[in-house]
Amino acid sequence: MSYNVNDFDSLEVTNNDRQHVWHHLTQHKPFEKNDPMVMVKGEGMRVWDAKGNEYLDAVSGAVWTVNVGYGRTEIADAVRDQLVTLNYFAQTAGNVPTALFSKKLIEKMPGLNRVYYSNSGSEANEKAFKIVRQIAHKKYGGKKNKILYRERDYHGTTITALSATGQFERREQYGPFTPGFVQVPHCCEYRPQEGADTENYGVWAANQIEKVILEEGPETVGALCLEPITAGGGVIEPPAGYWARVQEICKQYDILLHIDEVVCGLGRTGKWFGYQHYDIQPDIVTMAKGVASGYAAISCTVTTEEVFEAFKDDDPRSGYFRDISTFGGCTAGPAAALVNMQIIENENLLKNTEIQGNYLKERLYQLMDKHPLIGDVRGKGLFVGFELVEDRITKKPVDESVVMAIAGHCMANGVIIGRTNRCFKEYNNTICLSPSLIATKKELDIIINALDEALTELGNVS
């Protein structure tokens, strides 16, 4: 039986979906009375569902992934040609697209030199955690095995990745967690901790990491895992002075700095990687999502040569990284990633992201002047968010139902926006925007106008 993407019965597809598909992050009870949304087509920044409804996608596939937009035939053609030539061979051997993409990627990441392939951001972070743990055993007698993570950051959906996630609701009902993961305080300047030095909050917040290290014992801490800009936890850009102090602390205590670029990577913030805004040198960088813009599954765990060299010795049983990822050997991912990166270069999308990102924030500040519900606007490039509050003085967050209503209003008017989604006890109050890097002012105006209408209609909801 052949399958034609353009030949389907919408009613049959919808019924099949309702009866057999278990959707991500979805309470399925409403499906008993309402049709599930089924997407069937994408082009540029727009998608269409099985009922023929058209939407402007302001979140790049709902999870900040489709960086270069939908319908890129050049990526699809490259993947097709590669799969016909060689679709798969275990990554114990090399292949052409992996070798070519690795070199091109490393050229964008000075100071890093080795790429380990897998198929999702969660898995990329798992590889990083395993690297840290194995180095602890090889170099420190197993003692330097703890991994620090930051409150409000997210690092993946597996049990160990959740062990390194600072979001209460995402972790709820999944314990017990992997031991050896320790939380450090967040760095949200809009909501500083009690007793914080608000004049020098960035340095103060970084020093709280040092405080945790000293409490745990520096000899027990192997790595610090952070997002360059907190994504699903509220689009939180670290304040001035934060990253420089973090780098100093890691060097002082011989701690590997692991930057999770799964969301920010491949141009989202206006540079190839989010950390490159802050003049720091990580030891490990993980990435997924925008690496191939969703055209094929791929993730990368990138390290310095020094980290790589830690796994080269004469022991035949432990002198290597004892790990494998089945679909790290699928050639579709690096083939897609190679063309994806070429598109970003050829169309100057980093510059477009910077220009359009500045315009988007300017329009959001205009909305803030008009709507008292908006308490704070933050982000970088085409990766921005704003908090909704009942009162700007107290900064009391609106109930999550208000954010859901605004997202629903925008959806009903043909614009898909994002939001913090059942992550915290009370701070599920951030609207998240991450349109594709191809966005134009006209498309950003459509997004802003939809938000304006929703805020106007629902602004009195509390």
pTM, two decimals, is 0.96
d(CA 258, CA 255): 9
In whole angstroms, how far apart are CA 140 and each of 22, 143, 243, 317?
44, 6, 27, 18
Q: What is the pLDDT of residue 350?
A: 98
Q: Long-range contacts of range 6-15, CB-CB < 8 Å, 24 or more positions apart?
A: 8/40, 8/50, 10/38, 10/40, 10/50, 10/51, 13/38, 13/40, 13/50, 14/38, 14/50
> What pLDDT is attached to residue 61?
95
Q: Residue 169 has what pLDDT? A: 79
| C-alpha to C-alpha distance for 323 and 118, rounded to whole angstroms | 10
Mean pLDDT by 10 residues, the chain (462 residues): 68 87 83 82 96 96 95 98 97 96 98 98 98 96 97 95 89 93 97 96 98 98 98 95 98 98 98 98 98 98 97 82 93 98 98 98 98 97 97 95 95 95 82 98 98 88 46
Distance, in Å, from the CA atom of 283 to the CA atom of 217, rounded to the nearest integer, reads: 21
Alpha helices by DSSP H, listed for 286-331, are 305-309
273 and 288 Cβ atoms separated by less than 8 Å: no
Task: Give me the long-range contacts of 307-310 (CB less than 8 A, separation at least 24).
Answer: 307/114, 307/131, 307/135, 307/256, 307/283, 308/113, 308/114, 310/135, 310/138, 310/139
Q: Which residues pair with 150 in a beta bridge?
A: 184
Give pLDDT, residue 462.
44
The Cα-based distances of 329 to 79, 83, 218 in angstroms read: 14, 12, 37
What is d(CA 168, CA 149) in angstroms, rounded to the nearest whole number? 13
pLDDT at 110: 98
Amino acid 1: pLDDT = 43
Q: What is the pLDDT of residue 2?
A: 53
Amino acid in position 127: K
Residues, the chain: 462
- Please tell me the distance from the alpha carbon of residue 301 to that of residue 308, in angstroms, as a whole number: 11
The segment(s) of the chain belonging to CATH 3.40.640.10 are 74-346
CATH topology of domain 74-346: Aspartate Aminotransferase; domain 2 (3.40.640)
C-alpha Rg value of the chain to the nearest Å = 22
pLDDT at residue 314 in the model = 79
Q: Where in the chain is the domain with CATH 3.90.1150.10?
A: 10-68+348-458
pLDDT at 420: 86
Q: What is the CATH number of domain 10-68+348-458?
A: 3.90.1150.10
DSSP 64: I
